Every structure is written in structure tokens, then in C-alpha cells.
Amino acid sequence: MDPKKKTPAEMLATPVQFLKGAGPQRAELLERIGLHTAADVLFFFPRSYQDLTDRREINQLEEGKLQSVLGTVEEIDLRATSAGGSILGVLVRCDTGHIRAIWFNQPIMRERFSFGQRVMLSGKPKYEGLVWQMAHPLVETLDKDEEAPAGELLPVYPLTEGLRQWDIRKIVRGAMESCVDLLDEVFPAEYLQAHDLWPLRRALPEVHFPADHESLAGARRRLIYQELFILQLALAAKRCQQRDQSRAPLLEATAQIDARIRRLFPFDLTAGQRQAIAEIAADMGRSVPMNRLLQGDVGSGKTVVAVYAMLAAVACGYQAVLMAPTEVLARQHALTLDRLLVASKVRHEQLTGGLTAKKRSGVLARIAAGEVDVVVGTQAIIQEDVRFAKLGLVVIDEQHKFGVRQRAVLKQAGPDPHYLVMTATPIPRTVTMTLFGDLDVSTLRDGPPGRQKVHTYLTEEAKRAKWWDFFREKLREGRQGFVVTPLVEEVQRSEVEEAEESDAAAVASLNETYESLANGELEAFRLGLIHGRMSSDEKDTVMDEFRSGEIQVLVCTSVVEVGVDVPNATLMTIESGQRFGLAQLHQLRGRVSRGAFGGFCCVFADPATDEARERLKAFVGTTDGFELAETDFKLRGPGELFGTKQHGLPPFRIADLSRDTTVLEEARRDAQTLVTADPGLTQPQHARLRRQMLTRYGQALELGDVG
Ligand code: ADP
Ligand code: MG
């Protein structure tokens, strides 16, 4: 192929198969990890770097410092230990002596070595008797004819099986040589200068093959900034678009309406609730649809705020819907409304999966005819076929996964309803600024007055008897309690109901726990059992009996996790605590912090990993949900709960919200400044930014033709 005939765009679109060092076989592997063109390869960023900056001969090694040595594999020795583990020892001969690399319990590493193979080891060496040793070093294997890496910081790419670091480095290097000068700079030159950003053509080669730590930092800064900046631009554009296009009903809570609603509440609102209500009322009084997140720790009183908003909508002649993640919670909300609305004319109905077909079609007909003011249900149902006569407000309770997409599903013909989303899992600030960049946030910091703390204990098996003594004593005093066992893959799951449905094994182990308690430690008390595989009616019956006190102890899976509100319940036993995520543990503890009595939460756990230990330590260390959310975020990274994918956005290539906080703040500020100056990004020097924004986020954010 004659490169002269190709335009830069065509060059960048060259299929990987034709890249230097690739070929059809490797191309297939590259395709598998999402690399289709030369441009994809250029923007395929290293996961980490192997630090070879300090290269030593054996006779120059120092203990405890990160250093690298180059040599040949002479002996490989894999043996079992008496404790059932394994030790792999690899002896490497270097110019001036030997070094032994060892791995504990990683027999698979054996496959990476063969006799006579050239390797580079990086790690912290230790002098053990007669020979130097490195535990769990990083290994770079070299081909016979391959030069020892000249670069000091070697890129390590996230690869698939069959593709070696060495292969991909060669391919990246080749693509870089032929293509990097064809890349367009998205930022105007003055912009780069003013914001201390490297040009793309300088940053890109450096991020793959950095000269040193300093230039790596410069290159990364530029690329992270760009990624976050483009997203911030897209979010700003989305906001503008919503302001311009959407028409929501004006639901104004007049002084009269306000007084009428407040009279229904049996208590004074907290300062936080008053503030949140004021923010919500202001939003609902505008024709731009409200898009507000109400976050507040477990038990902080979010429901009342939601009820206020719904009644305000109803008072203005519109319908409101309250969606909960589980039937148990939907039912509880329905009961709360029953209580609050006894003296009111507001008509409310429940719409959950448990209804018979006949009842269901009756409810649907009344909703469509406008004969129901407030609908309480689970999300699954609302997303199907419900037609509202005049929907003004949608409240989504206990939702951690409300993405851009999900909210779009609820859009329907006619005016756009206002949205209020509630969560007890506080969202780290970096995330609200990005993935939820189009949401406004209200926060309930403090719960209602008179709440007692929950005492939390992390306990070993040996102390079990003592806990049950205490548990029984409190039950005799009239309190109630929970015993929670995990689902099989508790930590990974977030959709409680879904997980419950599919988990027969968990039910079996739950039954076992129930039997052993009912015939043992808690034999003298009235026990109930609840899990997600029971029918709605069965669940309702059990929950009602628990609420009334007929059942004293509820043995359950995390079906009680969210929202369940029984103030007399003060005892929480969590089995296999290591299997729960931090947010879940905190939610569970929240079940026993809701009344005037102090709560007690005891976690039995057998943590096998450092992460699990950290998690449990953080959990007993504080009852502040906001603090725990930040810890969780740091421990797990943004991947799981707040991953871009779950929100319908393409994943970040290089930015990381749990780490790049400073750059994020900067990019956000700068994007806002730019959009204020040039709202549609129509100025010619912003054309490239605009194009990149649309390419990357146009579809996910439904940006359409901005400007
Ligand atoms: P969450 O924020 O976890 O959803 P809830 O809305 O369920 O919390 O409220 C927890 C408990 O606090 C409920 O029993 C509710 O009736 C009570 N509550 C809410 N607001 C107040 C208040 N201002 N004063 C006293 N109790 C309140
Ligand atoms: Mg709640």
C-alpha cells in the first residue's frame, strides 16, 4: 500500500491486521480486546508501568529498594508446602552472580518460565543466606534476539491470553511511528498554553514509552484532562438542551398547599428535610423538569420529603409515582401513605408484581383514567405498560444505578414529569460531578432528633454464645431483631430482587440457620423467615407480623437490606459479614437505628482478603454513611457501583474518578467557562472539541444536534 495515497483519516483507520508487527493472527486477538484500527491502538493506554529505572548488576544490589536485574533462567523449582500451598523458585543467572525469584501460592507462574530463557526481574531484593532473593517480582521475558528494554518505564497493557506485552509494545510503537503526526489537536494552541497542557502529539508517545516519571506525569495529565473535559462539555451541553427542549408541568406548592401537606406529618420536619423540600419545590415550580438526587443516610427521613413532593404534585392536579427496588419496600411505602393520608382525600394504590391479573388491570385502568393520584410500585412494573392520565412526578427510592438511560426509559408522551431520585448510598463528589453531572443534589446530613447510636461489633466464632445471651436479654426487654445471612455471591450483586430469585442455595442455607436458631439459641422466641423466593403475599404476611411484634426475630437474606422501617427492632446479627459490600452492611445496620432505642449490630465474619478486612474495619469504625461511601469508593475504585457502563456512558480510557479528583475539578471549571463563552461550541476554534464530544457522548447522552 502506498501511504502517500492515503489521507490521514484513512491512515488512522488502518485495520490492525495491516499494522507493523501485527498480522492476521494477532489482529484477531487485538480485535478481541476492542482494538480495530491504528487509532484504537494509539489510544490503548497502559494499565501500569514496569519500573526499570534502577538497573543493577548482582554485586551492586541493595536490600529493600526497587531494582531490576537481567539474566537467564537456570533452575525452576515448584514444590508443595506442608500447609497446602506452593512455593515456586526460579534461579536466574546474571553476569556477576545469581538471584532467586520466588512466588508463594501462584503455581500458575511456573508456565511463564523455561530453561535458558532471558528474563528481566524487577522487585525489592533481599539477601537470604548465600543468595539474593526477590519475592513476587515483576517479570519481563525477552526473546532470544530481543534487546533488553531500553526504556526505563515499560508500559504494561491490559491484554488477553495469547498476546504478549512484547507483541503489543511493538505494534504500538509501529503505529506511533506511522500515525502520531497525523493526529489532530482538539485544543486550540493558546488553550494548551494557558492550561499548561502538553500537545497531543507529544503526550501520546510519552504515555506509551515514557522517558521518565516526570514526563509520564505530564503526558498523563494532558490525556486525563482531555477525557474529563470532553465529558464535562457533553454534560454541560446536555443541560442546555434540557433547559431548552423540555416542558414539565408547573407544580407550584403555594403557601396554602404547603400548610395542608405539613399538617399531615405527625412530627416537625428536620432542618435538612425543610431545606430539601424547599429545593425540590423550587424545581417543581419551573417548566424545566426536575432532575434531583436526594441523598441521605439510612434513617435520615427521605420518605417524608418524597411524600411532600408527591402531595404537592397531586395538589396541582397531577399524578405522582413512587418506585421502590423491592416489593417489601413498596409495601412499606404503601403502609406509610395509608397512615399519613387517613385524613386526606388523596387516592393511592399499590402496583407490584404480586397482584392478580384482574386486580392489576383494574389498577391500570384507574391510573389511566386519572382516578388514582399516587401510585406506589416496584420499578419493573412501572417500566412496562402503565399509562398515566397526567403524570407530574416520578420518585425513585433507594436507587444506586439510575443512569442516564434508565431515566430515559420512563419518558413518555406529553409533558416530561419531574424526577426525584433517592439514595442512602451517598455518592462521592467526583461521581456526582461526572456520571451524574446532569443531576442536582440535595443532602440530608442529620436524621430526626432523639436517635440513638448503633453499637457495632465485629466478632469471632468464640464469642457467639455471649452475643446470643445479649440478644435474648434484649428480646425479653421487648425489643426485636434480625439475623441476616448472605446470598451466595452477595458482594457482586446489587439488584436485590434479581439476585434473590436466582438463589436457591442461599435459601437452603437460610433455612438451616432458621432451624438451628429455632431449635437452639432462640428456641424460646417467635421466629419468622423471609427471602426473595417467597411469594408477595407470603412476604407481606411475614413483614406485617414482624411490624406488629408477633414475630420477634426475623431470619432473612438481604431482602431487608433497603428501607425496611421497624423502629422497635434494635438487634442485627450479620452472618458471614465478609460476603457483604460496605454499602450493604451499612444498609443492614440502618435497619436497627430507626427508633428511640439504641441499636446493636453484631457481625460474624471470616475475612480471607485484605480488602474484606479493610471493609469490615471501616464498617465498625464509623456509622457515618458518607465516610463509608468514600472508603468504599477508595477500596473498590469507581468500577463497580459507579462505573460508567451502568450509566450508559462509554468507559473512561485513562481517567479514574477515585484518583483524578484535582484534574476533574479543573476540567469541570474550564468546561463551564468555555460553554458560557460559546454555548453551542460554534466558534471555529472549538469545532474539533465539539466533534469529539458528539462522537463520544452524542449517542449515550442523546445530544442530537447541539447548537
Ligand atoms: P430513610 O431516609 O432511610 O428512607 P425514612 O424516611 O424511612 O428514612 O425515615 C426513618 C424514620 O424516621 C421513619 O420512621 C420516619 O417516620 C421517621 N421520621 C422521618 N422524619 C422525621 C422527623 N422529622 N421527625 C421524627 N421522625 C421522623
Ligand atoms: Mg427509605
At 497, the pLDDT band (50, 70, 90 cuts) reads very low
> Residue 648: is its pLDDT beyond 70?
no
Instruction: Give the tens place of pLDDT for each residue, 309-318.
Output: 999 999 999 9
CA dist., res. 619 & res. 581, Å (int): 10
- Contact residues for 53 (Cβ-Cβ < 8 A; gap 6+): 152, 153, 212, 213
CA dist., res. 215 & res. 566, Å (int): 58
Closest CA to 98 of 152, 51, 61: 61
Which phi and psi (to 5°) does residue 550 adopt? -60, -45
In this prediction, residue 383 carries a pLDDT of: 63
365: helix, strand or coil: helix
Q: Name the CATH code of domain 54-150 (choices 3.30.750.24, 1.10.760.10, 1.10.150.110, 2.40.50.140).
A: 2.40.50.140
Ligand 2 centroid to 506 CA: how many Å?
25
**Average pLDDT score over residue span 503-527:** 87
Which phi and psi (to 5°) does residue 616 adopt? -70, -35
CA dist., res. 530 & res. 538, Å (int): 8
At 381, the pLDDT band (50, 70, 90 cuts) reads low
How far, in Å, are 182, 378, 487 from residue 330 at the CA level? Answer: 57, 6, 21
CA atoms within 13 A on the CB side of 311: 24
| pTM (global) more than 0.85 | no
On whether the 255-286+301-423 domain is CATH 3.40.1500.10, my answer is no
Closest CA to 313 of 253, 396, 377: 253
**Average pLDDT score over residue span 540-563:** 86
State which fold the 454-622 domain adopts. Rossmann fold (3.40.50)
> Residue 501: is its pLDDT beyond 50?
no
CB 398 within 8 A of CB 325: yes
First CA to last CA distance, the chain: 40
In this prediction, residue 167 carries a pLDDT of: 86
Ligand 1 pocket (Cβ < 6 Å) reads 267-270, 273, 296, 298-304, 424, 448, 563, 565, 567, 594
Vertex 650: Cα angle to 647 and 652 (nearest 5) = 105
CB atoms within 10 A of CB 481: 25
Q: Whose C-alpha lies nearest to ligand 1, atom 20?
A: 301
In this prediction, residue 409 carries a pLDDT of: 46
Domain locations along the chain? 1-49+161-183, 54-150, 255-286+301-423, 454-622
Ligand 2 centroid to 626 CA: how many Å?
16
- Identify the nearest ligand to the CA of 304 by its number: 1
**Average pLDDT score over residue span 682-706:** 86
In this prediction, residue 384 carries a pLDDT of: 65
Fold equal for 1-49+161-183 and 255-286+301-423: no
DSSP strand pairing (97-104 vs 86-94): antiparallel
Q: What percent of the chain has pLDDT over 70?
A: 90
In this prediction, residue 651 carries a pLDDT of: 79
Question: Which of 274, 593, 594, 626 to mutate to test ligand 1, by most ligand atoms within 8 A of the CB atom?
Answer: 594
Closest CA to 497 of 531, 530, 529, 528: 531
CA dist., res. 376 & res. 395, Å (int): 9
- The string over 442-451, giving b where at least 16 C-beta atoms fall within 10 Å of a residue's C-beta and e elsewhere, is bbbeebbeeb
CA dist., res. 133 & res. 571, Å (int): 52
Instruction: Give the tens place of pLDDT for each residue, 64-92.
Output: 888 899 999 999 999 988 878 889 999 99
> Residue 285: is its pLDDT beyond 50?
yes
CA dist., res. 45 & res. 214, Å (int): 17
Mean pLDDT of all residues in the chain?
85
Instruction: Give the tens place of pLDDT for each residue, 399-413.
Output: 765 443 445 445 455
On whether the 1-49+161-183 domain is CATH 2.60.40, my answer is no
Residue 637, Ramachandran bin (φ over 0: left; ψ between -120 and 50: alpha; else beta): left
